[in-house]
Amino acid sequence: MTLTDSPGTAGTAAGVKPVLEVRDLSVSFPTDDGLVQAVRGVSYRLMPREVLGIVGESGSGKSVTSLAIMGLLPRTARIAGSACLGDQELIGAPYSTMQHLRGRRISMVFQDPISSLNPVYSIGWQLAEAVRAHHDVSKQAAADRAVDLLQLVGIPNAKERASNYPHEFSGGMRQRVVIAIAIANDPEVLIADEPTTALDVTVQAQILETLDLARRETNAAMVLITHDLGVVAGVADRVLVMYAGKPVETGTVDEIYYSSRMPYTLGLLASLPRLDDRKGGALRPIPGSPPSLLNLAPGCPFSPRCTYRGDVCDEQEPELLEVAPGGHRAACHFSDQLEQRREAPVLETDATLQEELA
Amino acid sequence: MYAFALRRLLISVPLLLVSSMIVYALVHFAGDPLRDLEGRNPPVPPAVLEERRRLLGLDKSLPEQYWNWLTGIVTGDFGPSVKGIDIGADLSRRLGVTMRMVILAILLAVILAMVVGVLSAVKQYSGVDYTATLLGFIALSMPVFWLAALLKEFLAIRINQAIGKTVVYTIGESTPGLEGGLLTKLADQAGHLVLPTIALAAVNYAAWSRYQRSSMLDVLNSDFIRLARAKGLSRRRVMVRHALRCALIPLTTVVALDAGAILGGAVITERVFAWHGMGEMLLNAANDQDVNRLLAWLMVSAVIVVLFNLVADLLYAYLDPRIRYA
């Protein structure tokens, strides 16, 4: 993928430098069975204040990409490529360098708020610790700031609640605390890794609102990782769709949702339940499952599940190429032919599955 | 926290009461303390037997005997001994001797286990980890009496020879008839303590270090450690304030539960090093069929075990805020 060479991406045209630039990032894990290629060349640019949605199913490499950028992968991970936060290269940077960047210039909100907070320290203590990690302030000042932050993310009675322990909070409230920790030092980049996945549907919207509020409050650019296209549509400016460790389509929300050029994206969109659908219509899943990232076969990794498959798909993996001016890119040999499609049933739903669901 | 501590303390009372009943019943049914006298040839006059029976309180009913013994114990009177020993005075001297070794051994084992366990978790699958694992399993499988013999032969005697005088003693808990000030006495006791402490600590160190290693590994792979790193904390702070702090919680339970076993293990260790401690008292009392001495030993052990559990509960509550409200 050669996003960097392309003129005409919104930010570069105005001469604004991206806050985060990821180039050809790949991550693999040696296992007893062989090398698992979790991420196989991801590139993107994140402009100031921009929200980039990264979408894909489990195992598509969304989280691993972000953890690699944060320098939080286990030591066994083999990481190649580059990720620049401003002028600072993050990949391969020593712990001492990352220590001063993490939490101050780049922060992360994790998926599971239940286990993300240390059970033996109070909420206020953990927040104050995040503040004091990067600012030489008194304990009292840090504690005051912690209360302010708790207020900001919508914890009622913040002053009293600060002395409570994580087990005295609900999942949604804990995620608010994690968000407060992430924005404690006004980061430039905020990575939210499936921030609502582990939560009740009823609190998901609240957490997204809190996240959006936190982002606006700190003017951070955000990478929102999710498998929920609905979430992305509401929050993101641009979308990156990942499949089998690679970006397969990228563009603005409108481009992805209304003129997708990649069968996988179309399949994801078609699988969304719709309120205006004909009544009694079954959900339309994408048949099959994602490929194993261990010893990936040549060709397009999506081809076994794709109805648009041609001979070329099994031989050559399509590159992510521009399909429309302005940065809309897709990795499909047949992207031209998909041009006029919109929410069409590109994928025949598996007949047996249809029966089961009916 | 204080309410919690008080509640725990109050629970200890019925616990000790129940254990006193069990202990008393077990000893009572273990055998007649006068069997030795009864089997003698020429026979002991019945009047003498009767007198002894009355002296030991054996002429009363079992509940009455138990009640008299219990009220005696509470006021510090352990009852008459068949050998005419002042059980209370003897016990307090021996308790000091044994606890000196037990406490030191626990401290030594805990500190070593923490350091080695954490190191092998942080450096998992490294040379340090493998070496610690190997040494741990050797220590775990080595009988105390054999380890003691090796220590005497290869540690104490070598050191003493190298220095030219006896610094590390291989027998006894202190030099009898030693003249000198407090400092001389302390140094002498320390010299006697070295080998038994190492011997007693070794097996527990081995088990606990394995335990500490796995609990540290658990914590290191948890999400909140990842968040601690993501906050931009130093390696040291992540390891000590976040990882070690949480990894210590399970260890406190194990140490407290093992404390009773250590007391039992001390009996063997004392025997090997010819200490005149609690272990010797237990063996002698059992040999002499001295019911009250046996009971005294068992009750003191029960109190110590309950005490260690109490300490563990309080430590646990201090270390883990989730416990206090449970």
The answer on pLDDT for A340 being more than 60 is no
Question: Looking at residue A224, what is its pLDDT?
Answer: 95
**Cβ atoms of residues A244 and A57 within 8 Å:** no
CA distance linking residue B216 with residue B113, whole number of Å: 12
Give the chain A residue nearest B317 (alpha carbons): A120
Per-residue pLDDT band at B22 (split at 50, 70, 90): very high
- Domain ranges for chain B, please list them: 2-324
Per-residue pLDDT band at A281 (split at 50, 70, 90): low
The answer on pLDDT for A278 being more than 50 is yes
Mean pLDDT over the full length of chain A: 86
CA distance linking residue A178 with residue A158, whole number of Å: 14
Q: Does B245 touch chain A (CB under 8 A)?
A: yes
Do B228 and A118 count as a contact with CB atoms less than 8 A apart?
yes
Instruction: Specify the range with the lowest mean pLDDT, choosing from A275-289, B101-115, B275-289.
Output: A275-289
> Residue A269 corresponds to which tokens in the numbers above?
């969109």
Average pLDDT, integer, range A195-218: 89
Average pLDDT, integer, range A55-71: 90
Average pLDDT, integer, range B92-102: 91
Question: Looking at residue B118, what is its pLDDT?
Answer: 93
Question: Looking at residue A60, what is its pLDDT?
Answer: 87
Per-residue pLDDT band at A280 (split at 50, 70, 90): low
Question: Looking at residue B325, what is its pLDDT?
Answer: 56
- Domain ranges for chain A, please list them: 1-114+189-200+219-273+288-358
Question: Looking at residue A7, what is its pLDDT?
Answer: 38
In three-state form (DSSP H/G/I as H, E/B as E, the rest C), the secondary structure along B223-271 is HHHHHHHHCCCCHHHHHHHHHHHHHHHHHHHHHHHHHHHHHHHHHHHHH
Instruction: Specify the range with the lowest mean pLDDT, choosing from A3-12, A16-25, A251-260, B165-174.
Output: A3-12
Tell me which chain B residues have a C-beta less than 8 angstroms from the C-beta of A119.
224, 246, 320-322
Give the chain A residue nearest B221 (alpha carbons): A74
Which option is the CATH number for A1-114+189-200+219-273+288-358: 3.40.50.300, 2.60.40.420, 3.40.190.80, 2.40.50.140? 3.40.50.300
Q: Does A134 touch chain B (CB under 8 A)?
A: yes
Do B231 and A118 count as a contact with CB atoms less than 8 A apart?
no
The answer on pLDDT for B143 being more than 50 is yes
The residue with greater pLDDT, A304 or A100, is A100
Do A133 and B231 count as a contact with CB atoms less than 8 A apart?
yes
pLDDT digits (tens, 9 = 90+) for B260-308: 888 888 888 998 999 999 999 999 998 888 888 999 999 999 999 898 8
**Cβ atoms of residues B240 and B233 within 8 Å:** no
Per-residue pLDDT band at A96 (split at 50, 70, 90): very high
CA distance linking residue B240 with residue B18, whole number of Å: 41
The residue with greater pLDDT, B318 or B105, is B105
The answer on pLDDT for B209 being more than 60 is yes
Residue whose pair of structure tokens reads 């309080």 in the numeric block: B314
Average pLDDT, integer, range A318-339: 85
Considering only CB atoms, B230 lies closest to which of A107, A118, A120, namely: A107
Q: Does A198 touch chain B (CB under 8 A)?
A: no
The residue with greater pLDDT, A7 or A112, is A112
Tell me which chain A residues have a C-beta less than 8 angstroms from the C-beta of B233.
99, 103, 129, 133
Question: Looking at residue A358, what is its pLDDT?
Answer: 44
The answer on pLDDT for B150 being more than 70 is yes
Do B231 and A110 count as a contact with CB atoms less than 8 A apart?
no
Q: What is the ipTM of this complex?
A: 0.85
The answer on pLDDT for A251 being more than 70 is yes
Average pLDDT, integer, range B20-43: 82
Instruction: Specify the range with the lowest mean pLDDT, choosing from A344-358, B59-73, B256-270.
Output: A344-358
DSSP A25-69: EEEEEEETTEEEEEEEEEEEEE-TT-EEEEE--TTSSHHHHHHHH
Interface of A with B in 63-92 (CB under 8 A): 70, 72
Tell me which chain A residues have a C-beta less than 8 angstroms from the C-beta of B319.
120
The answer on pLDDT for B83 being more than 70 is yes
**Cβ atoms of residues A260 and A337 within 8 Å:** no
Tell me which chain A residues have a C-beta less than 8 angstroms from the C-beta of B222.
115
Per-residue pLDDT band at A347 (split at 50, 70, 90): very low
Average pLDDT, integer, range B4-31: 89
Q: What is the pTM of this model?
A: 0.82
**Cβ atoms of residues B174 and B81 within 8 Å:** no
Question: Looking at residue A275, what is its pLDDT?
Answer: 67
Average pLDDT, integer, range B127-139: 92
> B300 by DSSP, 3-state: which?
helix
Average pLDDT, integer, range B166-173: 82
> A166 by DSSP, 3-state: which?
helix
Do A181 and B222 count as a contact with CB atoms less than 8 A apart?
no
Q: Which are the contacts of B253, defined by CB distance < 8 A and separation ≥ 6?
A: B312, B316
Q: Does A29 touch chain B (CB under 8 A)?
A: no
**Cβ atoms of residues B304 and B263 within 8 Å:** yes
Per-residue pLDDT band at B186 (split at 50, 70, 90): confident
> B71 by DSSP, 3-state: which?
helix
The answer on pLDDT for A3 being more than 50 is no
CA dihedral for A321, A324, A326, A330, sign (positive or negative): negative
Question: Looking at residue A57, what is its pLDDT?
Answer: 84
Question: Looking at residue A2, what is its pLDDT?
Answer: 40
Question: Looking at residue B318, what is its pLDDT?
Answer: 84
Question: Looking at residue B17, what is its pLDDT?
Answer: 93
Q: Does A346 touch chain B (CB under 8 A)?
A: no
The answer on pLDDT for A289 being more than 90 is no
Question: Looking at residue A163, what is its pLDDT?
Answer: 93
Q: Does A178 touch chain B (CB under 8 A)?
A: yes
Do B227 and A134 count as a contact with CB atoms less than 8 A apart?
no
Question: Looking at residue A233, what is its pLDDT?
Answer: 86
Residue ranges in chain B assigned as alpha helix (H): 2-30, 35-38, 46-55, 62-74, 87-122, 127-141, 144-150, 157-163, 182-220, 223-230, 235-237, 245-272, 278-288, 291-319, 321-324
Give the chain B residue nearest A130 (alpha carbons): B231
Do A116 and B227 count as a contact with CB atoms less than 8 A apart?
yes
Q: Which are the contacts of B287, defined by CB distance < 8 A and separation ≥ 6?
A: none
Q: Which are the contacts of B115, defined by CB distance < 8 A and separation ≥ 6?
A: none
> Residue B32 corresponds to which tokens in the numbers above?
């007649």
Question: Looking at residue A279, what is its pLDDT?
Answer: 58
The answer on pLDDT for A342 being more than 60 is no
Question: Looking at residue A119, what is its pLDDT?
Answer: 93
The answer on pLDDT for A344 being more than 70 is no
Q: What letter represents residue B293's amino acid? A: R
Per-residue pLDDT band at A207 (split at 50, 70, 90): very high
Question: Looking at residue A356, what is its pLDDT?
Answer: 46
The answer to whether domain B2-324 has CATH 1.10.3720.10 is yes
Do A110 and B223 count as a contact with CB atoms less than 8 A apart?
yes
Considering only CB atoms, A133 lies closest to which of B232, B242, B320, namely: B232
The residue with greater pLDDT, A122 or A259, is A122
> Residue A74 corresponds to which tokens in the numbers above?
């286990």
Question: Looking at residue A277, what is its pLDDT?
Answer: 58
Considering only CB atoms, A102 lies closest to which of B224, B229, B242, namely: B229
Do B231 and A178 count as a contact with CB atoms less than 8 A apart?
no
Q: Give how far Cα B181 sits from Cα of B178, B186, B187, Å.
A: 10, 9, 10
Average pLDDT, integer, range A91-117: 93
Average pLDDT, integer, range B56-81: 86
Instruction: Specify the range with the lowest mean pLDDT, choosing from A2-16, A58-72, B65-79, B167-181.
Output: A2-16
